[in-house]
């Protein structure tokens, strides 16, 4: 199970590492009045939204994988011990992707 979850976490963190660059590019586009709004919307959808969706997909895939690989008894014990097991954060944030304090 650890191998599967590690792979999902790595994919999640890879997408997360790209977020600051994409957000910075989008900010630069917004500040340049010569860039058409349609281009900014397209960039947002193809880049920012894609990364966020990718992260959410990895998170969901990990949770589904665990649910499908635990026996009914194991799942019951986990949920008795931690009722919010599936609602808690599973993946560590990547430190270098967090916004600076002055943002």
Q: Is the pLDDT of residue 66 over 80?
A: yes
How far is residue 96's CA from residue 55's CA, in Å, rounded to a whole number?
Answer: 16
The closest of 18, 94, 28, 96 to 53, measured between CA atoms, is 18
pLDDT of 96: 59
pLDDT tens profile 76-91:
999 999 999 999 888 8
How far is residue 10's CA from residue 24's CA, in Å, rounded to a whole number?
Answer: 23
Span 27-43, mean pLDDT? 98
Summary mean pLDDT of the chain: 90
């Amino acid at each position: 199970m650890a191998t599967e979850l590690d792979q999902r976490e790595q994919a999640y963190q890879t997408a997360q590492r790209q977020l600051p660059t994409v957000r910075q590019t989008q900010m630069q586009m917004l500040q340049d009045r010569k860039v058409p709004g349609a281009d900014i919307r397209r960039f947002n959808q193809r880049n920012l939204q894609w990364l966020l969706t990718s992260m959410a997909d990895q998170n969901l895939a990990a949770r589904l994988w665990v649910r499908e690989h635990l026996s009914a008894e194991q799942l019951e014990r986990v949920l008795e011990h931690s009722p919010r097991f599936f609602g808690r954060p599973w993946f560590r944030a990547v430190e270098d992707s967090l916004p600076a304090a002055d943002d």
